[in-house]
A = this chain, B = another copy of it.
Amino acid sequence: MLDAVGARNIDDLFSHIPAEYRLKGDLHGPRQMGEAEIVDYFKGFAGDMSAGYSIMLGAGSYYHYRPVVIDSLISRGEFFTAYTPYQAEISQGTLQAIFEFQTMICELTGMEVANASLYDGSTGIAEAVMMAIRITGRSSTVIARSVHPEYREVLRTYAQHQGMPIAETAFLETGRVDLKALDAAITDETACVVIQSPNFFGTIEDVAAVADIAHKKGALLIVSIAEALSLGIVKPPVEADIVTMEAQSFGVPLGYGGPYVGVLATREKFVRQMPGRLVGQTTDRQGKRGFVLTLSTREQHIRREKATSNICTNQGLVALMATIYMCIYGREGLKELAKQNLSKAAYAVGEFKKSAKILFDGAPRFNEFVVQTPGAAKQINDKLLDQKIIGGLPLNRYYPELGNSAVWCCTELVAKAQIDAAAQAVGK
């Protein structure tokens, strides 16, 4: 090809880069490895991790069983080596799958429209807040302290340069939002109230009550869901104006925190203020049903600085994992599975109570609960490692006022034996 382009050597093609910027030598770094070496190299890393441990950590990342068909399907090159479906005629597979995803998210959340995905649950809140600000024309936000601490951090980061004041409201003994405090915190500059349910402590909020208070003052309600599986057995937040959810629980590996998949769902009337991609049904020239990316005038590649968001590449393949997962469990399975989680956590709470204090015991919860212990949570966890158990997340960094406490999680993958062992340990 060099001759064809009329170059004497490859460096001719780089000659327009000012000489002083052209690299002379090789980059520094490990030499080229053979495939077998690469596999061994990563096996080395994977080796000193927690494979084979039972995981009683949740807090925004949930260890559920992943049916094997998910990976066999998403591993098809037609899915994972395709780009964003800009060219509808040769992207119907991805487009129809996203349309099915949007539909299932609506069904589960009780909303009317859902987008094709956002980065994750944390950035989802930030996008939802910006959306609420566009809709209401108001600028400030009230967020519950029981929302995932890292989600709140992300919101603060996004908000800091945009003149979006953020107030936090407290939680009660029950773990739920302090409604009085909330009511007091809302001003007529409040664009939205943000809560999470089940919240960071595993407590299920009284969404309807919060909605009343917010709506009375003309603010929108944004409900964040970190444990998507809860929707199998917990009433959807139909009173919310915007629901933003982390769908990792739906067949996405823990993967040390990512990639996961955020979703944003809302009411039809707000659709043109939504961030992210949307797939719509239409017909081709022959009247045959098909699907396309639509309402893209909201997006950055058309609207540039006036776009509803700067998001471009999102979480396509992860949304596909979630879609497949939702199909596998479906109408009955999600309920049955959620019920198993509910039962595991309920059993665990009963056992842990025998030797430690369960906080926020006054309101219903899904598969997480907060345990306060005599000793420091970290020491308890260290001890449990010998039994190949990863204990709950210590809360001292986020909620010093809760003392020696940790938020534990019991999914269907935590066996009774491990629950019993952990319950033993926390007392000591």
Contacts and interface: CB of A to CB of B under 8 A. Distances in A.
- Give how many copies assemble into the complex: 2
Nearest to A71: B75
A35 B68 contact: yes
B413 A65 contact: no
Contacts of A31: none
Interface in A233-272: none
Interface in A37-75: 39, 65, 67-68, 72, 75
A36 interface: yes
Interface in A19-40: 35-36, 39
A345 B254 CA distance: 43
B75 A35 contact: no
Interface residues of A, number: 11
A285 interface: no
A413 B36 contact: yes
Nearest to A69: B35
Contacts of A412: 36
Given A35-B67, A76-B76, 8 more contacts: A35-B65, A35-B68, A36-B65, A36-B412, A36-B413, A39-B68, A72-B75, A75-B75
A412 B35 CA distance: 13
Contacts of A35: 65, 67-68
Interface of A: 35-36, 39, 65, 67-68, 72, 75-76, 412-413
Contacts of A76: 76
A39 B68 CA distance: 10
A39 to B, nearest CB: 8
A390 to B, nearest CB: 18
A413 B37 CA distance: 10
A412 B413 CA distance: 39
A375 to B, nearest CB: 33
Contacts of A36: 65, 412-413
A67 B36 CA distance: 8
A76 B76 CA distance: 7
A344 to B, nearest CB: 14
A326 B180 CA distance: 73
A413 B76 CA distance: 30
A67 to B, nearest CB: 6
Contacts of A72: 75
A67 B39 CA distance: 10
A351 to B, nearest CB: 22
A8 B65 CA distance: 40
A211 to B, nearest CB: 38
Nearest to A65: B36
10 contacts: A35-B65, A35-B67, A35-B68, A36-B65, A36-B412, A36-B413, A39-B68, A72-B75, A75-B75, A76-B76
Contacts of A75: 72, 75
